[in-house]
Chains A and B, each alone.
Chain A
Amino acid sequence: MPSQQSPPVGLSPSSRPCTILISSQVPQQTAVLAGCRCVLVDFPSPSPFSRQCCAENPSSSSWNEPYLCLHSQGLGGEEAPEDEGSWGGLEVLLTLCLFQWATLRIERGAKEKNHPLYKPYVNGIIAKEPTSLEEEIKEIRRSGSSKALDTPEFELSDIFYFCRKGIETIMDDEVTKRFSAEELESWNLLSRTNYNFQYISLRLTVLWGLGVLIRYCFLLPLRIALAFTGISLLVVGTTVVGYLPSGRWKEFLSKHIHLMCYRICVRALTAIITYHDQENRPRNGGICVANHTSPIDVIILASDGYYAMVGQIHGGLMGVIQRAVVKACPHVWFERSEVKDRHLVAKRLTEHVQDKSKLPILIFPEGTCINNTSVMMFKKGSFAIGATVYPVAIKYDPQFGEAFWNSSKYGMVTYLLRMMTSWAIVCSVWYLPPMTRQPEEDAVQFANRVKSAIARQGGLVDLLWDGGLKREKVKDTFKEEQQKLYSKTIVGNHEDRSRS
């Protein structure tokens, strides 16, 4: 039975003591300073910020206390966080303790009022067995029939399979939940992320009110000022550099202006980024692919490397920025009409990568924003070009601010405001070793291989579904595949038909 320790700093004596699991790489002084009981565990890498890691950790199941899970990433482990000065390990630790305390208070408040709490189930709500169509139907037939042979034959009970599968997907499916923000188990003092917000005590309301004050009146103006500075510097700087003659100076200035302005934007969002394996950073003539969660991904990657962007020319402020930056260095912008023409796109990208003096291209092959719990199908266009691919995995920690852009719910301006009024954006970026297409692979298989590597590194679910399903209907070919598989269980293959 673990002995009682004094509660961590900032918690009232009446709340339950908190245990903190830390990975062996976190500097121990920070945890000890907070007065918490710390237990060193070795987390299975590489899942970052892993609540799942805690669930798998066998020793934690014997405790009945709540625990906090801190991984080395983002806390000054082997790689120091980008912005060491203002957000050191201790502050992050204390903030996490605060969130945990807030969650406990909600649970207590709900219990006092005798209200069962709504608990989000991050691992799905129903048990799904991963069996194939043939196996399942065979099982159903076997249980009902006294026949000894496993000949393919239609049975009335076959319908049970489709029936149950259908109802299972109605209760919980793999795709639609990727297009809305992930639900958190602990509350991070942003009312927008909690369903139980009403079951709170006075203390918590005061704390939340204080949080609102700090976020909206102090952090927001600061961040808007920084963003304004960053963007105007970018536009002005690149336009000026555009007037210089091509040469070493132009390139040097362009690179540094880009990097500086993106770094100012990173500060404007208070993004705490941890870059891993920076030796694998993309080089000229390559294509950098990453999973896509929000427009901020671009800023995060571009503040650590000098890339050529690819995209469609927009109107408004975005268009102004796009037209300015292309003066300083060759980005690949397409008119709206050209985007549909796949050959033209492929041709321009191929020309770009073949010129070794040009910068690596940055592409998000999913084509749309996904909520950072999974990686969806990569469009094969960029993998068919034949250049070296540099995969990058980006994983956000949703505890400090939800970075996913739900474009059907929020416009760009609302989204940016929400970002700037969150506590911080905390994320990890992994640069994976470069990959090239093998001779026996086609573009689709290569794309899937890269996708699996990114999913594995970021601790995301690897899905074959198309991100475009956010807006479009699924293709009929998938249904036809299912029908084909089922037909085989009724009539078998050609050889069997002669027997029955």
Chain B
Amino acid sequence: MGSRASSLLRDEEIEEIKKETGFSHSQITRLYSRFTSLDKGENGTLSREDFQRIPELAINPLGDRIINAFFPEGEDQVNFRGFMRTLAHFRPIEDNEKSKDQNGPEPLNSRSNKLHFAFQLYDLDKDDKISRDELLQVLRMMVGVNISDEQLGSIADRTIQEADQDGDSAISFTEFVKVLEKVDVEQKMSIRFLH
């Protein structure tokens, strides 16, 4: 019956999440409702299986990498705070935020943090570098069986060659940012809410 009503978010929690992520009150409650509907076990956390139950995510070639981004190192469950923290990267950048003072911590949805999120999708072993192997693995996920190993290898080599500046045959985060400096990250990595 009314199980959702019994696990309501407390106001203090909503305020904390608001401060941390920048989402509005109504957006937070709406996403909480979404979180609870995904939480089939009703224990307040989501596991990888809960995400994989979304068919449109399961058919995404990088679905597993995206799901992985929600789980901190070595953990198998994510609570609502963690869920919101990850989703916060995709909040659109508002005009008044661009001119905020530089003393506070960087907002989760800044251009740099959005790029870092994408960087982590490539960086499989989390060593802050995209090696040739890692790039190959991610490419293989994206193209499936449709491209041969040699062709994929040459694509990876070309990409690293173009991006690499310090000659270590790997792409660091700074090099990653440099390659994508012209791309409209703010728009392409943002999800607009209807309300």
Give residues in A with beta carbon < 8 Å to B.
116, 118-121, 123-127, 139-140, 143-146, 154, 156-177, 180, 191-192, 195, 197-198, 465, 469, 473-474, 478-484, 486-487, 490-491
> A118-B29, A491-B151 known; A143 and B2 CB under 8 Å?
no
What is the distance, in angstroms, from A109's C-beta to the closest C-beta of chain B? Answer: 15
B139 within 8 Å of A by Cβ? Answer: yes
- Give the most central of B31, B37, B179, B189: most A CB within 10 Å: B189
List of A residues within 8 angstroms of B127 by Cβ: none
Report how far A158 CA is from B179 CA in the complex, Å.
Answer: 12
A104 to B87, CA, bound (A): 33
Known: A125-B27, A168-B191, A483-B146. 14 other contacts (CB 8 A): A121-B194, A140-B188, A144-B183, A157-B188, A158-B142, A160-B185, A163-B118, A170-B51, A175-B56, A473-B58, A478-B59, A484-B146, A486-B61, A491-B147
Q: Are A126 and B61 in contact (CB under 8 A)?
A: no
The CB with the most chain A CB atoms within 10 A, among B26, B52, B176, B188, is that of B188
B193 touches A486 (CB 8 A): no
Which of B5, B29, B51, B155 has most A Cβ within 10 Å? B5
In the complex the two chains form, what is the Cα distance from A482 to B146 in whole Å?
11
Known contacts being A143-B182, A144-B183, A156-B180, is A163 close to B66, with CB within 8 Å? Answer: yes
> Would you give the shortest CB distance from A474 to chain B, in whole angstroms?
4
Within 8 A of A (CB), among B122-159: 122, 138-139, 142-147, 151, 155, 159
- Cβ-defined contact, B30 with A125, below 8 A: yes
CB-CB nearest in chain A for B135: A156
Q: Assuming A160-B185, A480-B144, is B55 touching A126 (CB within 8 A)?
A: no
Across the interface, B193 reaches (CB within 8 A) one of A126, A473, A474, namely A126
Q: Decide if B55 touches A175 in the complex (CB within 8 Å).
A: yes
Q: Which 6 A-B pairs have the closest CB atoms?
A: A483-B144, A144-B183, A487-B146, A166-B66, A169-B56, A478-B59
Min Cβ gap A333→B in Å is: 32
Q: How many CB-defined contacts (below 8 Å) exist between A and B?
A: 178
A165 to B59, CA, bound (A): 11
Do A166 and B60 touch across chains, with their CB atoms under 8 A apart?
A: yes
In the bound complex, residues from chain A placing their C-beta under 8 Å from that of B194 are: 121, 123-127
Whole-angstrom distance between the alpha carbons of A157 and B185 in the complex?
9
Residue contact B188 to A119, C-beta cutoff 8 Å: no
- How far in angstroms is the closest Cβ of chain B from A183? 9
**Taking the complex as formed, is B98 at the interface, i.e. its CB lies under 8 A from any CB of chain A?**
no
B59 and A479 within 8 A (CB): yes
Do A176 and B53 touch (CB < 8 A)? yes
Asked, given contacts A160-B118, A166-B63, A180-B37, whether A171 binds B56 with beta carbons under 8 Å apart, the answer is no
Selected A-B contacts with CB under 8 Å, 22 pairs: A116-B26, A124-B194, A125-B27, A127-B192, A140-B188, A144-B182, A146-B182, A156-B163, A160-B118, A160-B188, A165-B60, A168-B191, A170-B51, A170-B54, A170-B87, A197-B2, A482-B59, A486-B142, A487-B143, A487-B147, A490-B147, A490-B155
A417: min CB distance to chain B, Å: 12
Cβ B184 vs Cβ A143 within 8 A: yes
Given A121-B195, A483-B144, A143-B183 contact (CB < 8 Å): yes
Distance to closest chain A CB from B33 (angstroms): 7
| A116 and B25 contact, Cβ closer than 8 Å, known pairs A167-B66, A483-B146, A490-B143 | yes
* A119-B54 contact, Cβ under 8 Å, with A159-B118, A167-B87, A483-B144: no
Q: Specify which chain A residues have a CB less than 8 angstroms from the CB of B19 in the assembled complex.
A: none
Distance of A137 Cα from B182 Cα, bound (Å):
15
**Given A172-B34, A195-B5, also A167-B90 (CB < 8 A):** yes
The answer to whether A160 and B189 have CB atoms under 8 Å apart is yes
**Distance A168 CA – B63 CA, assembled complex (angstroms):** 12
Q: Is the CB of B188 within 8 A of A171?
A: no
A171-B1 Cα distance, complex, nearest whole Å: 24
- Shortest CB-to-CB span from A165 to chain B, Å, is 6
B61's contact among A127, A174, A180, A482, by CB below 8 Å, is which? A482
User: In the complex, what residues of B have CB within 8 A of residue A176's CB?
Assistant: 37-38, 53-55
